[in-house]
Structure formats: structure tokens, C-alpha cells
Amino acid sequence: MKLEVKIGEPIAASLAAAAHTMQVIQAGRAVKPYFGIGFRTMAQFGEVFTPKRWELVEALKAAGPLSIYALAKRLGRHYRNVHKDVSAMIEWTVIEKNAAGLVFVPWDEIGVRWPLLKQAA
């Protein structure tokens, strides 16, 4: 599964894509599952996806489901900071928690798309 992260996509484009998907569903055709999140600006994206959080996501994906304590130990970081980062990544659907309370990354890939807009001369 892939998580799509889009930066700077106009809301109108997102709404148009959702409307198209609804039309396909209403026509009785199959729809490929889509999982995505969006940010207005690269600055907003950078506030959520800090270098430490990217490191955390990569380590967790490599290790498989772990407790937050075990993840903090693996990363050599303070539990409180790892807990805060895991909570943020759960909020943005990058990390999930299973019934046993272990956290994991459900994605095989995270694609980040940032189209650069042309400025008027």
C-alpha cells in the first residue's frame, strides 16, 4: 500500500478527484483504493515531517511492530519525545497502533508530490 502526500494541491483539484471517484462508484465500477494526505505549503509539511520523524518512520518500518518504549530504545531517544512524534504520525495516518498497543507503519511506500508553480514574470 502507498500513502500519497501532496503539497500545494488546490482544494478544487482534490474536490474534483473526489467527485470523479463518486461518479465511478455510482456507475458500479471498481475504484482503486487511495490513501492520501495534503499540505498547503512545504513549510507546513516540514513542521509535520521533521528529520527525526522520518528517521522514526524508517526505523519502525524496518523493525516491524514495536512498543513506543522499544522504539525509543532502538532510536536512542527519550521516550517522551518518541511518544510525541509517534502521536503526531498517528494523527497524520503515517503510523498505526494495533490491538496489542504496538505501533507500526502500514505503508510499503510514501510518495511525496510537490508541484512547483510557475510565477508570473
Whether the per-residue pLDDT at 120 is higher than 70: the answer is no
Q: Which residue has the higher pLDDT, 17 or 54?
A: 54
pLDDT at residue 118 in the model: 65
What ranges make up the beta strands (E) of 1-121? 2-7, 36-39, 96-97, 103-104, 109-113
Which H or E element spans position 85? helix 79-91
Instruction: Map grid coordinates 488546490 to a residue.
Output: 10
Q: Which residue has the higher pLDDT, 14 or 48?
A: 48
- The answer to whether residues 11 and 118 touch, using CB atoms and an 8 Å cutoff, is no
Whether the per-residue pLDDT at 66 is higher than 80: the answer is yes
* Number of other CB atoms surrounding residue 109 within 10 Å: 8
Q: What is the pLDDT of residues 80-100, one digit of tens each?
A: 999 999 999 999 999 999 999
- Set of cell numbers at residue 114: 510537490
Whether the per-residue pLDDT at 49 is higher than 70: the answer is yes
